[in-house]
Amino acid sequence: MITVHVLNGPNLNLLGQRESTVYGSTTLVEIERLVREKAGSMGAAITFRQSNHEGHLVDWIQEAGAQGAGVVMNAGAYTHTSIALRDAIAGSGVPTVEVHLSNVHSREGFRHRSLIAPVSLGVICGFGPMSYLLGLDAVHRAMVERAKQTNPSKH
């Protein structure tokens, strides 16, 4: 069974309360429900976490890599500042898809640069909660393909 860790960075615990014109009114609990429903239909297991602390996110990325899981990551503001998250993704080799609720490219200039995008499979932004579902689909497909290449006789 494919396992995907959905990791959420700082302030995402405030979804539904903060800047609804930018992030919408959906809470992180509601996003988790949507992700779990989609994962269930795909036959994937989900670990869903949020932290305002960079070190927790680094630990969880490394944990996912050690378990052979994939990652869907909304690193929030750490996207633009965290070399530690970038290095954790690169160092663990975990297949990662970066996601954002808002279209970061239509916002402030400092949000246009991602430190984790260069070590991720891809970036999905601007689709609200659907960004997470698209990210889940993308990392799941990448992991299925990786498994086929690793064990061609089983597929």
Binding residues, as ranges, are 74, 80, 87, 101-102, 111
Catalytic annotation on 112? no
Binding residues for substrate: 74, 80, 87, 101-102, 111
> Looking at 5, 78, 100, 132, which residue is catalytic?
100
Separation of alpha carbons 154 and 149, rounded Å: 10
> Looking at 23, 78, 132, 140, which residue is catalytic?
23
Catalytic annotation on 100? yes
- Locate the DSSP E strands across the chain: 3-8, 45-50, 70-74, 96-100, 122-125
- In the sheet that 122-125 helps form, which strands lie side by side, from edge to edge? 45-50, 3-8, 70-74, 96-100, 122-125
| Catalytic (active-site) positions | 23, 100
